[in-house]
Amino acid sequence: MKKRFKERGIPYKIQYVEEPPELVERYQLKRSPNIIVDGEPVYRGMPNLSELQRYLDELKLRIRKHQLQSEDI
């Protein structure tokens, strides 16, 4: 997964469920991996590769759009 995020220039942070137990409770996480974006779980368990790539491409476009909007301000 790290490779997919890096290839697209998407900032990420690896965090294990055991480290912040409030995440386990908050999202009722039972297994890893989970992908949480902007405080919301977007994948529980391992997504298939094409699903993950499609999601990350969409995420990259949203990030870029947000950056462009910020530059206009």
For 14-55, how does the pLDDT look when each residue is reduced to its tens digit (9 = 90+)? Answer: 777 666 778 788 888 877 788 888 878 888 888 888 988 898
Listed by start position, the domains of the chain span 2-72
The reported pLDDT for the residue numbered 14 is: 79
Number of helices and strands in the chain (H, E) = 3, 2
The reported pLDDT for the residue numbered 69 is: 87
The reported pLDDT for the residue numbered 72 is: 75
Is the alpha carbon torsion for 71, 64, 62, 18 positive or negative?
negative
b/e 16-25 (16+ beta carbons within 10 angstroms → b)? eeeeeeebee
pTM over 0.85: no
The reported pLDDT for the residue numbered 18 is: 65
